Amino acid sequence: MNQYFKKTIEYAAGNFFNKILLIILLPIFTHFMLPEEYAIYTNLMIFFSFASLIYLLGIHQALFSHFYDVDSNSYKFSLISSILIVLIIVGLILSSLIIIYRVQLSQLVLRSINYSNLFYCIAIILFFNMLFSISLSLLNIMEKSRHYAIISAIQNIIVLLLIILFSLKNKFSVEYYFIFLAIASVIASLIGISQILKIMQKMQIPPVDRKYFSLEITASMLKFGIIMIPGTISMLILQASDRYMLTYLSAKTMYDVGIYSAGYRIGMIMHFVVTLISLVYLPYAMKIARQPQAQELNKNMFKYYIIIGSLFGALIILYSQEIFRFIIDSNYLESYKIVFAGVISSFLHGIFNIICINFYIRKKAGNITLAVLLGSLLNIALNFILIPRFGIFGAGIASIVAYLFIVIFNYSMATYLYKIKYPIFLIFLGLFILMSATIINNCLLLSLNLFIIKTAIFAVIIVLVLLILRRDEQIQNLFKILMKDRKNEIKIYK
């Protein structure tokens, strides 16, 4: 099998498995937790997401721009060793601060000090998850797809097994979940780091030439990574501020947070496609960035992501009623109406990532940061305006509008600076497909006849699209170029 498609399948398998595990967890959460309790879990995970960015210092993003700067094992050895040293020192300091200020953090994040002891677990999880995340980033950039797929699933598998075990004994709760996550993070990070150390040993650098810490490499990566932190934090604000602002602005407060979070999480199944692009295509795009066909490949990826992504998103939206009626607890039934927000936001996020390849290639982190910062400010402003009037629907609309803004803003910047010519009309075609699915889903109640009709219509559309893609010369050329390039690759690591 061609190596490129083999890696795609491996990444897809690992990514799909992790998404399925998260979906399996949702019925368990909704069975044992009321919406208000699920909101506590949600807000803690939002804090975890923000804190993780500080722990990583943007280095996981800087890897994509720096790893292939020098085609030398000595350089790569020094790069990996340097970032591990820096991250471990920073992680220990930050985890200590979280433990010291756990009471204040509990009041800030959860509006209560009753859960302050959970921040002991959060401090442990953040430190070891940082090591786990950087291990996965290194495996990804080195295109170790099989190792990535296996190791990335370990954490979720351990958590799932512990949850099932304790659920059978009716002992599952928010507190138990974070204890399980702490245990899983420690185990998964040790496995991930051990794999990275094995790869470093196989580089066979003579002891005299080993440089465990390079100030020059570290400074260069931090210069890129730290600039990315505000942008990444802003992206998290786009992804999570709606839930936190619902806590304070919605009439039903924590209940609305729980309902919105459940619906949004199902919508983020769309992230399966988005993540696949990031894992498979972004490292490849960076490797061929200086080749003449690179811009045309990016354009084609933009085109086919929108076509496939919009159909996949429509599928999620159309069947969200079935998901919530037959899989999720009845307390969360109305969540299906907000699934569209997670789907469309994730869909637009994927388009944004493809456009941003142009900035990664040129190491223009500031352009990405500016777009996301402006988008997050817009999202916050819209949440203040829309949530008091429309509740969870206001939060969903604010999210979509903000994501659309960053897509249009960075598309305009890339067009102006680098003269890219992506078919922008496809973005609005994709949005039309997703909004049509939303109207059908939210206006028609579930019935057997409706299920049969929408399944038949969707099947016909899928067949037509596949026929068109099969005859499309551009996608055939895209596959041929990728296959040819992969055959000619020199394997550095084995």
Q: What is the pLDDT of residue 186?
A: 94
Question: Confidence class of residue 491 from pLDDT cuts 50, 70 and 90?
Answer: very low
CA pair distance 215, 219, nearest whole angstrom: 6
Higher pLDDT, 284 or 95: 95
Q: Is the pLDDT of residue 13 over 60?
A: no
DSSP conformation class of 398: H
| Residues near 171 by beta carbon (within 8 Å), at least 6 away in sequence | none
Element (H, E) at 386: helix 365-390
Q: What is the pLDDT of residue 16?
A: 59
Q: What is the pLDDT of residue 122?
A: 94
Question: Confidence class of residue 488 from pLDDT cuts 50, 70 and 90?
Answer: very low
How does pLDDT run across 364-398, given as a tens digit for each residue? 767 777 888 898 899 999 999 998 888 889 999 99
DSSP conformation class of 420: -
The mean predicted confidence, pLDDT, of the chain is 79
Which of 447, 430, 163, 136 shows the shortest CA–CA distance to 312?
430
Question: Confidence class of residue 61 from pLDDT cuts 50, 70 and 90?
Answer: confident
Q: What is the pLDDT of residue 98?
A: 94
Q: What is the pLDDT of residue 378?
A: 92
Distance between terminal CA atoms of the chain? Answer: 17
Q: Is the pLDDT of residue 402 over 60?
A: yes
Percent of the chain predicted with pLDDT > 90: 17
The number of helix segments (H) and strand segments (E) in the chain equals 20, 0
Q: Cα 256 vs. chain centroid, distance in angstroms?
A: 23
How does pLDDT run across 74-88, given as a tens digit for each residue? 888 888 889 899 999
How does pLDDT run across 182-208, given as a tens digit for each residue? 999 999 999 999 999 988 888 878 877
CA pair distance 346, 263, nearest whole angstrom: 13
Extract the tokens encoding 209: 């030439």
**Least confident residue range of 8-12, 230-234, 249-253, 417-421:** 8-12
Q: Characterize 165-191 residue by residue with b for buried, 16 or more Cβ atoms within 10 angstroms of its Cβ, and e for exposed.
A: ebeeeeebebeebbbbbbbbbbebbeb
Higher pLDDT, 5 or 297: 297
Q: What angle do CA 130, 133, 139 make, to 5 degrees?
A: 140
Higher pLDDT, 237 or 307: 307
Identity of residue 131:
L
Q: Is the pLDDT of residue 482 over 50?
A: no
How does pLDDT run across 151-167, given as a tens digit for each residue? 878 888 888 888 888 88
Q: Is the pLDDT of residue 485 over 50?
A: no
Q: What is the full DSSP assignment across 445-476?
A: ---HHHHHHHHHHHHHHHHHHHHHHHH-HHHH
Q: What is the pLDDT of residue 397?
A: 92
Q: What is the pLDDT of residue 14?
A: 56
| Residues near 215 by beta carbon (within 8 Å), at least 6 away in sequence | none
Higher pLDDT, 370 or 238: 370
Q: Which of 103-107, 125-129, 232-236 has the highest mean pLDDT?
A: 125-129
